[in-house]
Chain A
Amino acid sequence: MTEDKNQSSGPSEPEDLGTPIVQLLNHAVPVSPNFHSRISRAIERRVLAADATQFGILAPLSALLELVKAVFEGLGIVDAASDVHNPRPASSTDADHPSSETEG
């Protein structure tokens, strides 16, 4: 309890508020035997709802992302970009395409 419990300011405020009701300080009310399982079920319901919502948002989003990726790959844009950023080593290019010069 803070200090203002014993303070009184202003003429309209009661000077003496009386002593606190000691019976209330440690008063507890018993809960039903299934109280824990009720909390458990409520928490699980919420977790399930959150997972379902997350899935509902993420699943279409990742499908869209895959679709866009497939379109870009089809157009060859992704390959070209990845070639610029990660050029293949000369030896592996030769090994992968041994007959490229003869064919040309």
Chain B
Amino acid sequence: MQTELSDDELVKLAIEGGEFRNDRAYQELIERYQGKVMANCRYLSGSTSDAEDLAQEVFVKAYFGLASFQGRAQFGTWLRRIKTNHCLNFVKRNRRAHVSVDDVAQDASSALVVSAKGERRAILSEERQRIDEVLDAMTEKLRVPLVLCDMDEFSYQEIADQLGIGLSAVKMRIKRGREEFRRIYEDLNAA
């Protein structure tokens, strides 16, 4: 019944509804967006193990923020903002706590990708897996702007604001990111 309802209608039902266990409306919203939220968390954080925790926290945050959601933007847009802020905060925290992802040698990250490959192969489709591998092989510096631009469809200015860098730097990174993505993707296809 709820698959026919729009996001706005589901949000209204979720706000009116009671506790989460009985809240089919919010569960339906989760089902609609979980794949994209998970993909974002996965590629913005660059961590498979943290991605699901991050996605979970995004939906929990959104649940408690529903009352303040006034419907001025679409639910998807509102959720996109929450997940991006949450993931970028995670990346910043991690960068402070650990070595910068940019500094990690490419060989080391490739080795990690190879070790996780076998496990994921069974679950993911070939195409999805290839995208996964390409994004994993990219540095955070190029991957994050590319994901924000081509996956989340943020404008260049919004990306610049979120990352705290200049507009021209964003454009340069996106250009290089797209080139690198295509190069690695074609290499994988050829292999």
Binding site for B on A (CB under 8 A): 1-5, 8-10, 12-14, 16-21, 23-25, 27-32, 35-36, 38-40, 42-44, 46-47
Contacts and interface: CB of A to CB of B under 8 A. Distances in A.
Contact of A39 (B38, B60, B181): B60
16 contacts: A13-B167, A13-B168, A18-B178, A19-B178, A21-B182, A23-B185, A24-B147, A24-B151, A25-B150, A27-B39, A30-B35, A30-B124, A35-B30, A38-B56, A43-B63, A43-B64
Closest 9 CB pairs of A and B: A28-B35, A2-B155, A29-B38, A18-B178, A13-B168, A24-B150, A29-B39, A24-B151, A43-B20
Contacts of A1: 153, 155
Interface residues on B, range: 35 or more
A5 B149 CA distance: 9
Interface of B: 19-21, 27, 30, 34-36, 38-39, 42, 51-52, 55-57, 59-60, 63-64, 123-124, 127-128, 131-132, 146-147, 149-151, 153, 155-158, 167-168, 171-172, 174-175, 178-179, 181-182, 185
A10 B168 contact: yes
Contacts of A40: 20-21
Contacts of B30: 35-36, 39
B contacts with A: majority SS: helix
B39 A28 contact: yes
Contacts of A28: 35-36, 38-39, 128
Contacts of B158: 2
